Amino acid sequence: MNPTILVLTEETLNEADARNLGYLAEDNPVRFEILVPADPGRNMLVDVLDNLSLLDFAAAYRNIAGPHLSEKQEVKAAEQELAESLDLLRGLGFDADGRVTGQNPVEAVVEEARRSQAQQVVVITTPHAVEDTFGTDWANEAQDRLGVPVLHLYSGSTFIGDS
């Protein structure tokens, strides 16, 4: 069985994300296990502060006033994000599987990393100024609980978060 790289993403993987994951695999056969949380457990106030720190006023307004998805809609959206991410990776020739997680994404990563004996964990998110600054982001939390490397990448870029 090929070594596993576990990927936790808060949104659909894109071409840049797939390219970054390909760099991790190099020419070695690996298996990607993708986790997409149905409920990322985000705090609305923290999300608004994140949006404001990035000068994304429209997103801050949407977080306050915008339509909020029901639990069923969140699961359906996560399933769609997972399916699209798997299609992308498989289309590029990668061995990839995945699942939608529940309310605690970090706990899901810890459980899956131990179950699959993952060689590495990659967390792909958009920038979250508050969590990234105070080290409370998913990558830092996972790093504190696991004995494997955790890489924090910002979606759609080559920027590496601090974990």
What average pLDDT does range 75-86 have in this prediction? Answer: 94
C-alpha pair distances (Å), 27 with each of 19, 22, 101, 148:
13, 8, 29, 21
- The pTM of the full predicted model, rounded to 2 decimals, is 0.82
* pLDDT (0 to 100) of residue 163: 47
Domain membership flag for residue 59: no
**Which run of H or of E encompasses 137?**
none
> Which tokens hold the place of 45?
């106030």
Q: Does residue 86 lie in a domain region? A: yes
Residue type, 30: V
pLDDT higher at 31 or 156 = 31
pLDDT for residue 154: 86
Examine residue 87 and state whether it is found in any structural domain, yes or no.
yes
Give me the number of domains the chain comprises.
1
* pLDDT per position as a tens digit, 86-130: 999 999 999 999 999 987 888 999 999 999 988 899 999 877 766
139 vs 162, higher pLDDT: 139
The pLDDT value recorded for residue 58 is 80
30: domain range? 4-40+75-154
**Calpha distance 101→6 (Å, rounded):** 13
55, part of any domain: no
| Spatial contact of 38 and 102, defined as CB atoms under 8 Å apart | yes
pLDDT in tens, 142-153: 888 887 788 888
